[in-house]
Amino acid sequence: MLVRLVYLIATRIFAWLFLMSRSSAAKNAEILILRHELAVLRRQVTAPKPGWPERALLAVVTRLNPQALRERRIVSPRTLLAWHRRLVKQKWTQPPSTGRPPLPEEIRNLIIRLSTENPRWGFRRVHGELRRTGHKASPATARPVLRAAGPGPAPRRQPARGKWAVFLKAQASGLLATDLFDVDTISLQRLYALFIMEVRTRTIHIPGVTAHPTTAWATQQARQFLWQHGDRAAEFTHLIRDRDAKFTAAFDAVFTSEDITVAKIPPRSPNCNPHAERFIRSAREECTDRVLLFDRGHAEKIPHDYAHHFNSHRPHQGRDQLAPSDNPNVIPLPTARIKRRQAVAGLIKEYHRAG
C-alpha cells in the first residue's frame, strides 16, 4: 500500500510538470471534456470504492480546489468525514473475543482413541474416563469431538419419575437394591445371579450364581451378604426388591432382623427399581452378551470380574463420574501418558495414569 501511494504521488507530479508546458486553451478544453465524461459516468456507474492510497491523494488534492468546485468532485467533504469516522471506528473497536480456548490436541486424540477402542461408549462414558485420568473436561467437550470423528453420542435413558424417584433419593444413604439376572452357557444352560447394590455408592455385590434359584438358596445368600458386612450392616435402612416368588417372607426376615425395612415395588414396575435394572442393562451390554460362558464356574467368574471392574473403575453419572470405591476428596492430576489395561477377560479396557 505504501509503495502504491508513493507511485501515485510520483505519477501525479510528473503529470503536473507536463501540464505546465501546455497552453491554457488546451488545458481548458481537456477540463471541459473530463467534466463531461465525469457527468456521464455519474449517471451510469455506481459509487466508486477507492483504496486508502487513492483516498489520501484525493483528500490532499481536493484542498487545492476552490470551495465552489469541491462539491462537484466524487470526493466531497461528506465523503472525507465518512472516511475519518471509519478510521476512528477501526481504532477504538475492541477486537472480537476469542471465546472458549481450543481443546488441546492431546485431549482430542485421547477422546477419539477411547471412542475408537470402545465403540459402545457414548460421550458421557468417555467423559467419565477423562475424569479418571485427571483431565478436566465437561461432557459438552467430548460430544462435538465424537460427533466430528464418527457416530453421535448414545441416547440417555429416561430416569425414573414420580414418588418412587423422590423416595429413592431421600433414602439413598442407607438403601439397598436387589434382583436376579440370568445368563446362558454355551450348552444352553440358564444360570441365575443374585446381586445386591449399595445405592449410595453404587457398589455391587454378587453373593452367588446357581442354576436353581430356590427360596432357601436366596435366603442363604442374604445371610451370607449380611455376615460379610458385619457391623457395616447397621448402616443399611431399606431394601428394595421386586415381587419375585424367590423373595419370600424368610428372605425378608433376614433383613428385618437387622432393622432393614424391605420395600416391595408395585407389580410389573421395573422402573421403580431403577438402579438394579440399570446394572442389569450395563452387565448385559458390556459383559455377558459379549462372551460365551462355558460352564457354571466360568459363569461365576465373569460376573464377579465385572463387579470388580464396576466397583473399582467404572465411572457413574450419579457419583459425578466417580467409581464406587473412589474417594471424592482426591482429585487426580492430568498426565501425558495413559496406560491401558484389559479387564473382564479382555472385554473391557481400563485406562490409568502411567507411572
What are the CB-based long-range contacts (under 8 Å, 24+) for 226-230? 226/254, 226/255, 226/258
Buried b (16+ CB within 10 A) or exposed e, 273-290: bbbbbbbbeebeebbbee
Of 237, 162, 167, 163, nearest in space to 198 by CA: 237
In terms of DSSP H, where are the helices of the chain? 2-20, 24-44, 52-62, 67-70, 77-92, 105-117, 123-132, 139-149, 163-170, 215-229, 249-256, 274-286, 296-312
pLDDT of residue 153: 47
Q: Is 308 exposed, middle or buried (0-12, 13-18, 19+ CB in 10 A)?
A: middle
Residue 80 has what pLDDT?
A: 63
Distance (Å, rounded) from C-alpha 120 to C-alpha 143? Answer: 14
- Ranges of residues in the chain with a pLDDT under 50 are 153, 155-160
Nearest-5° angle of CA 38, CA 83, CA 8? 60
C-alpha cell at 48: 466508486
- The pLDDT, as a whole number, for residue 47 is 65
- Cα–chain-centroid distance for residue 130? 11
336: helix, strand or coil: coil
Distance between CA atoms of residues 269 and 60, nearest Å: 87
Q: List, for residues 12-57, the tens digit of each pLDDT value.
A: 777 767 767 777 777 677 777 777 677 767 666 666 666 666 666 6
In this structure, CATH architecture of domain 163-324:
2-Layer Sandwich (3.30)
- Buried residues in 3-41 as b, exposed as e (16+ CB within 10 A): eebeeeeeeeeeeeeeeeeeeeeeeeeeeeeeeeeeeee
C-beta pairs of 59-64 under 8 Å, 24+ apart in sequence: 59/83, 61/12
